Amino acid sequence: MNETVIKSLDKVAGKAHYERACQVIPGGMMSNFRRDEGYVPTYYAGGDGAWLTDIDGNQYLDYSLGYGPSVLGHNPPAVTRALIDQLKRFSSCESTVVQTEAAERLAAHVACAELVRFACSGTEAVYNVCRIARAHTGRGKIVRFNGHYDGGLDELLGGVVADQAYPVPHQGEREDDFFSQLANTQGRAPHALSDVFLIEWNDLDALETLFSAHGDEIAGVLMEPVMVNVSGCLPMPGYLEGVRELCNRYGAVLIFDEVITGFRMGLGGAQGHFGVTPDLATFGKALGAGFPVAAFCGRREVMDVVTRTEVIAGGTYNGHPLAMAAVCATIDELAKDDGAAMAHLQAMGTLLGEGLNRLFAQYEPHLRVQGFPGAWTLAYEPEGKAIVRHAQALGVDSHLPIGAFVGGMQGRGIVMQTRMCTSVAHNAEDVAHALAMAEDTLREMTGA
């Protein structure tokens, strides 16, 4: 462990920079999700492996990894080398061989990926698959799920359902649902939400009821195959298979949003892990190990609406050579030596998750981590039960104990949010340090 870690975390330069940044940047930062009320952001100057350094010289053990992307840690040599090599060769947006090489690598590992297009962000990848699903089926509506986050599109962000018999959401937020408040936005196109149904995930009956009443309206079913963004719920046994079967029966397109699970839950993503193949899938974050790149891919028959140019899937920077070089280097690093790096990531994540759950059982803050070793999510459950559905997490002030734990960890130099992502660069010593800081935080929280 680095000895400088727990030095006072003075952020004199950081505070001064925040004031300067606020003069030219709304809220002093580039994403609302990095913002907490009354909280001065940390401005980083550098990173190496699992560690970050801020502009005051403080060092942090990083379990955020930029909200997930830096799957190989910071400044991974193989990716840096590949980017420099590519930069020297060519870095303009034309059709290049490296695009094919990157698509081939994705196709080699991801079951549904017969055809692949690249984009620049997860949000863009998601809008493309929604459009493809609508064009392929000739239908209008996308089914989405409470507690899932699929990017910033007007029709996919927030909203509340008034009539469960026709679960089309409308603008608003639920008092008992912190996530619906976080995900609500002003300024969306007035009728955007009328293009989706919003129902409970991990509830096959709810989906079957919806299909039997409105199947002819449903173009696609869009889900995070693990509910990573809230509570970290795993799919119940048989759920994904059941959804697959319903989509087949009613002629709807099954879409897995693998922006977080992709290249974190294994090289084949959640679809490889669970053995359920969607028609379309999106990737982002870990795909470029920190370089801004995303992908949408799927079965040839479905993706062919793009091949036939019935669907426009454009973008100036799609398939940028630097992004493609990052994808190739990332996948090669994760896959080499029979997936040794990915196996190490899983082992380090498992050590962390098991250790945290042991501490939570001992100190009883009613917290637990759920999900999978590459990206654990903190969940609050007063009775200590596993959370399997979003409805179970409603009506409790879960953000208070979760916020206290996350704040305590951040104050002790552990960078994390409600999600903790592990990278290939984390080692057992890092995990031990994180667990020591967690114990310290829990002692403070519980007065033990």
Binding site for ligand PLP (CB under 6 A): 67, 121-123, 126, 149-151, 224, 229, 257, 259-260, 284, 294
**Considering beta carbons, is residue 195 or 430 the nearer one to ligand PLP?**
195
Region class of 138: left (phi > 0), else alpha (psi between -120 and 50), else beta: left
Minimum distance from CB of 189 to ligand PLP (Å)? 18
**Considering beta carbons, is residue 23 or 316 the nearer one to ligand PLP?**
316
**Considering beta carbons, is residue 279 or 430 the nearer one to ligand PLP?**
279
Residue of this chain nearest to ligand PLP (CB atom): 122
Helices and strands (DSSP H and E) totals, the chain: 12, 16
The residue whose two tokens read 């996948």 is: 331
Minimum distance from CB of 16 to ligand PLP (Å)? 29
Minimum distance from CB of 90 to ligand PLP (Å)? 25
**Considering beta carbons, is residue 260 or 351 the nearer one to ligand PLP?**
260
Minimum distance from CB of 282 to ligand PLP (Å)? 7
Q: Residues 51, 61: contact at Cβ < 8 Å?
A: yes
Question: For residue 314, what are the contacts with CB-CB under 8 A and spacing of at least 6?
Answer: none
Amino acid 138 reads: G
CA 151 to CA 296: how far, in whole Å? 14
CA 195 to CA 140: how far, in whole Å? 7
**Considering beta carbons, is residue 122 or 169 the nearer one to ligand PLP?**
122
Minimum distance from CB of 436 to ligand PLP (Å)? 29
Q: Residues 401, 445: contact at Cβ < 8 Å?
A: yes
Amino acid 353 reads: G
Q: Residues 17, 43: contact at Cβ < 8 Å?
A: yes
**Considering beta carbons, is residue 42 or 121 the nearer one to ligand PLP?**
121
Alpha carbons within 13 A on the beta-carbon side of 260: 29
Minimum distance from CB of 150 to ligand PLP (Å)? 5
CA 64 to CA 288: how far, in whole Å? 16
Q: Residues 61, 415: contact at Cβ < 8 Å?
A: yes
**Considering beta carbons, is residue 278 or 413 the nearer one to ligand PLP?**
278
Minimum distance from CB of 323 to ligand PLP (Å)? 12
The strand pair at 419-421 and 375-380 is best described as: antiparallel
Amino acid 333 reads: E
**Considering beta carbons, is residue 225 or 413 the nearer one to ligand PLP?**
225
Candidates 397, 85, 386; CA nearest to 236 is 386
**Considering beta carbons, is residue 229 or 392 the nearer one to ligand PLP?**
229
Minimum distance from CB of 396 to ligand PLP (Å)? 23
Beta bridge mates, 53 = 46, 59
Exposed / middle / buried, residue 257 (Cβ in 10 Å: 0-12, 13-18, 19+): buried
Minimum distance from CB of 121 to ligand PLP (Å)? 4
**Considering beta carbons, is residue 44 or 67 the nearer one to ligand PLP?**
67
Q: Residues 192, 378: contact at Cβ < 8 Å?
A: no
How many beta carbons lie within 10 A of that of residue 428, not counting itself? 11
Minimum distance from CB of 280 to ligand PLP (Å)? 13
